Structure 1
Amino acid sequence: MAGRPTLRSGPLVPQLEELLTARIRDGEWTLGSRIPSEAELATELGVGRSSVREAVRLLARDGLLDVRHGVGTFVAQPPTSGAGLGKLLRRARLLEVYEVRRALEIEAARLAAERVRPEDLRRLREQLSTRHDSTTASTAVFVAADLDFHAAILEIAGNSILSALFDSIRPLLVDALAELVDHEPGRPDTSCAHDDLVRALEAGDAAAAVAATAANLDPTMSILRKGGNQ
């Protein structure tokens, strides 16, 4: 067996995704062939199974691999000649999710500034603290804390339809935010925008609340529109 590939410092899953794609492109894994199991790849590459699983999931979502539960994972198609096309397609999907998120949260921020109560602010400050404390925790913990904070603002807005819409897309937001955290190292830190949003709600300033919400979401949307750090 050839020597173990050298992995760079930095996000691991994108490197694994590129490495597995190269094996398909170079013909090491041919169309229709079964690739090694997650455990075998993890041992060969010296990484955790969860990282391999995530890389395989991304390639399956892009159509390169076909995961057949209980059977194995197979090469579904060779990589397109357009380098990075799969990554660009994922960014396009993330942008669509963020466009919907922005529409909901901008209106929720405006309504929340008009309807917030002192007891709402006490709870929101606690959730903000939890959100900030989770920035160094696992992706799953951070994503949950961040979306709990924003869900609270939807609740304060007092519009049941807005809240229901947010709840209905929350699974998409979980996936989108997790992917941004894990695979977009240039994603800006918007903690200050969250602080500004709470201050705007405390002041009952709808315009400032809308501006803080835009400051939270727009930088990431700009990255997605431009294709990230390519």
Structure 2
Amino acid sequence: MTAALSRNLLADQAADQLRRRLAAGEWEVGAKLPGETTLAAELGIGRSTVREALRMLAGQGMLRARQGAGVFVERTEPETDGWEAVLQREAIAAVVEVRAAIEIEAARLAAQRATDADVAAMRRALDLRAAAAAASDRAFVEADAAVHRSIVAAAHNPVLSELFETFVPRVADAMVEMIGLLGLRDRDTEPNSDEHAALVDAIAAGDIELAARISRAHLEAMAADLA
């Protein structure tokens, strides 16, 4: 616990230093920040702590990570909790509402219809999600989506599967935005892992009501975070 608190404190301090450097104009909007190794050496901290600090600033709207390209400056002052942030939260909340409409029923049907092969596929997806814990936000979201895809597939409803696949790109973008907005991985690189495992266990056990209840609670908590 002490080590974790120390690391979090260092990340906060690093974020403050980077925030001051951004405000001073060291990097202009659109500029690419130095890599994690360089920043770690400059700040005298580890790369994982630098990564946490960068995520904090991304959550404030100051930075944005681009897959395979690096971290870029979005603004030199923290984003105020104004209309832009409100509209972003509302857009993500709308996606979560549609997820609930699809995924709660998918969990219920999967608990009724899942085969041994379906359950095996769900557990493989859980393992891949865990393996993506240290990956980028986008890669982690894609691994998370694969778990939900395996559950929808286990519902054995082709229309539901088609609807989910059409919706997945929108979900992925919203979840990446939500991670940055709320800093969901600042302290936990594998959020909600227990809930996902419990959902798969309920489906494997054929417990229809429990599966639906876990799915509903997960999505309601997500909606509450955005309120």
Class of the TM-score when normalised by the shorter of the 2 chains: 0.5 to 0.7
1:62-77 correspondence runs (5 A): 62=61
Residue identity opposite 1:101 in structure 2:
R
Residue equivalent to 1:5 = none
Q: Secondary structure at the match of 2:8?
A: coil
Residue equivalent to 1:198 = 200
| Post-superposition offset of 1:211 | 0.4
Query: In the alignment, does 2:161 pair up with 1:183?
Result: no
Residue equivalent to 1:138 = 134
Specify every segment of 5 or more residues in structure 1 that has no aligned partner in the other structure, as ranges: 1-7, 226-230
8 Å Cα contact 2:15/2:57 also seen in 1: no
Residue equivalent to 2:58 = 58
Q: Structure 1-normalised TM-score?
A: 0.60
Q: Secondary structure at the match of 1:29?
A: coil
1:28-80 CA-to-partner distances (Å, cap 9, x unmatched) read: 22896897951565542235497399459828x83689x9xx9xx77856556
Q: Secondary structure at the match of 1:38?
A: coil
Q: Secondary structure at the match of 1:194?
A: helix
| Post-superposition offset of 1:154 | 1.4
Residue identity opposite 1:44 in structure 2:
E
| Post-superposition offset of 1:111 | 2.7
1:44-193 correspondence runs (5 A): 44-47=42-45, 48=47, 51=51, 54=54, 58=58, 62=61, 78-79=77-78, 82=80, 92=89, 95-128=93-126, 130=127, 134=131, 137-140=133-136, 143-157=141-155, 158=157, 159-172=160-173, 175-176=176-177, 179=180, 180-183=183-186, 189-191=192-194, 193=195
What is the alpha-carbon distance in structure 1 between the residues aligned to residue 32 and residue 193 of structure 2? 40
What is the alpha-carbon distance in structure 2 between the residues aligned to residue 52 and residue 188 of structure 1? 15
8 Å Cα contact 1:97/1:176 also seen in 2: no
What is the alpha-carbon distance in structure 2 between the residues aligned to residue 76 and residue 125 of structure 1? 41
| Post-superposition offset of 1:152 | 0.3
8 Å Cα contact 1:98/1:217 also seen in 2: yes
The 3 A distance-change label for structure 1 pair 138 and 62 is: closer
Residue equivalent to 1:228 = none
CA RMSD of aligned residues (A): 4.9
Residue equivalent to 1:20 = 18
Q: Secondary structure at the match of 1:182?
A: coil
Residue equivalent to 1:4 = none
Specify every segment of 5 or more residues in structure 2 that has no aligned partner in the other structure, as ranges: 1-5
Moved more, 104-113 or 32-41: 32-41
Between the aligned residues of both structures, percent identity stands at: 25
1:147-200 CA-to-partner distances (Å, cap 9, x unmatched) read: 322210111222232331343235326625754542365x97451x33432343
Comparing both chains, which one has the higher relative contact order based on Cα–Cα distances under 8 Å and sequence gaps of 6 or more? 2
8 Å Cα contact 2:110/2:152 also seen in 1: yes
Length, aligned pairs only: 206
Residue identity opposite 1:38 in structure 2:
P
Q: Structure 2-normalised TM-score?
A: 0.60
What is the alpha-carbon distance in structure 2 between the residues aligned to residue 143 and residue 90 of structure 1? 22
Residue equivalent to 2:3 = none
Q: Secondary structure at the match of 1:121?
A: helix
Larger Rg: 1
